Amino acid sequence: MTTEDYDMRTLAELTPFVGDSMPYLYDGSSNEGLRVCSVYAFHLFTDGPGEMEIDGVRYPIERRTLIFLRPGQPHAFHISPKHPLASHNLYCDMWDNRDPVSLHRTFIYAPNPFRLHEQSTSEPCDELDTLPGVFSLQPYPHLYDAFLHIVKLYNELLHYRSEAVNSLLYAWMLSWHHACSTRQPHDYRIVRLLEQLEMNPERRETVEQWWTLCGLKRTYFHELFLRETGMTPKAYQHRLWMKRAMHLLQESDLSVTAIADKLGYPSIHPFTRHFTAYYGVSPKQYRQNPRKNL
């Protein structure tokens, strides 16, 4: 292992500090041209269309597009004056909450040389580097709502604002990284179906009912479901039941037999076989010591 490997930080080591948060209406004015900023910046657009230029590359801005900019990164907003776009802007440090630069951020505009007198600390972190500069939050309503909640608290809290907002941003960054690094469905029909299934995992609907709900034919539904989730419908359904069983064993006083019945099993025996094969311990063993056994 090299010295650089030892110096590499993880996302869990972030110490975020939000120096400012404000709503902004981009209308194509001159101050939206090519520039750099001294701190990390988020821009969450509620609508589109428009374009965002980052390091000389243009990206489309659509509804719920998130822009993530690093300190000193050249960027420009290309917005039509005929269609201004509203954005929730958040300026922050990621690695320094003791002497944060985001409390007094600065911009330098082209054609001036992009030489910042001071900028936010940047630590070597592969996980942070992999986060995209442009990302749609449309398929991730929980991330969208959580970001707006951070902005709302920053603007409303009178006491312990930094403590609350900085902690929430830390959790949000970890959640965003998870969304970026794991497979997530994007097709609205599959997303809608999965939301209903997650809310009612005990309903033993047939897979035929699933493709009917999505308005799709059998063959295409199976292909789309596998592509969107990485699992067959039957495997996904089985995972839902096992996850629900785990929660019921941990959070309820129902007997194992009652849980098997609640999940639609004809008896305790096939349920026990499925649970043991999935988790490596029997339902009874899991209930006795969930942390140790799972």
Q: Which of 101, 91, 105, 104 is nearest to 121 (CA)?
A: 101
**Phi and psi dihedrals of 66, rounded to 5?**
-105, 130
Query: What is residue 204's predicted lDDT score, i.e. its pLDDT?
Result: 79
Query: What is residue 6's predicted lDDT score, i.e. its pLDDT?
Result: 54
Collapsed DSSP state (helix, strand, coil) of residue 34 = coil
The span from the CA of 238 to the CA of 134, in Å, is 35
The span from the CA of 89 to the CA of 237, in Å, is 40
As a residue count, the chain comes to 294
Cβ–Cβ under 8 Å, residues 139 and 114: no
Tokens standing for residue 209: 């009912």
The span from the CA of 294 to the CA of 279, in Å, is 7
The span from the CA of 266 to the CA of 24, in Å, is 58
First CA to last CA distance, the chain: 32
Q: Which residues of 90-112 are buried (b: 16+ CB within 10 A; e: fewer)?
A: bbbbbbbbeebbbeebeebeeee
Check the CA dihedral 130-153-145-42 and report its sign.
Answer: negative
Q: Which of 73, 72, 26 is nearest to 51 (CA)?
A: 26
Tokens 């993880």 found at = 10
Check the CA dihedral 60-62-65-69 and report its sign.
Answer: positive
Query: What is residue 291's predicted lDDT score, i.e. its pLDDT?
Result: 61
Each of the 294 residues of the chain gets a pLDDT tens digit; together they read 444 445 889 999 999 999 999 999 999 998 899 999 999 999 999 998 999 999 999 999 999 999 999 999 999 999 999 999 999 999 999 999 999 999 999 999 999 999 999 999 999 999 999 999 999 998 788 899 999 999 999 999 999 999 999 999 999 999 999 988 876 777 889 988 988 888 887 777 888 999 998 999 999 999 999 988 888 999 999 999 999 999 999 889 999 999 999 998 999 999 999 999 999 999 999 988 766 555
Q: Which of 98, 66, 77 is nearest to 28 (CA)?
A: 77
Q: What is the DSSP letter of 257?
A: H
**pTM exceeding 0.75:** no
* Domains of the chain, each with CATH number or no CATH: 3-181 (2.60.120.280), 188-293 (1.10.10.60)
Query: What is residue 243's predicted lDDT score, i.e. its pLDDT?
Result: 92
Query: What is residue 132's predicted lDDT score, i.e. its pLDDT?
Result: 95
Query: What is residue 196's predicted lDDT score, i.e. its pLDDT?
Result: 86
Query: What is residue 73's predicted lDDT score, i.e. its pLDDT?
Result: 97
Query: What is residue 3's predicted lDDT score, i.e. its pLDDT?
Result: 42
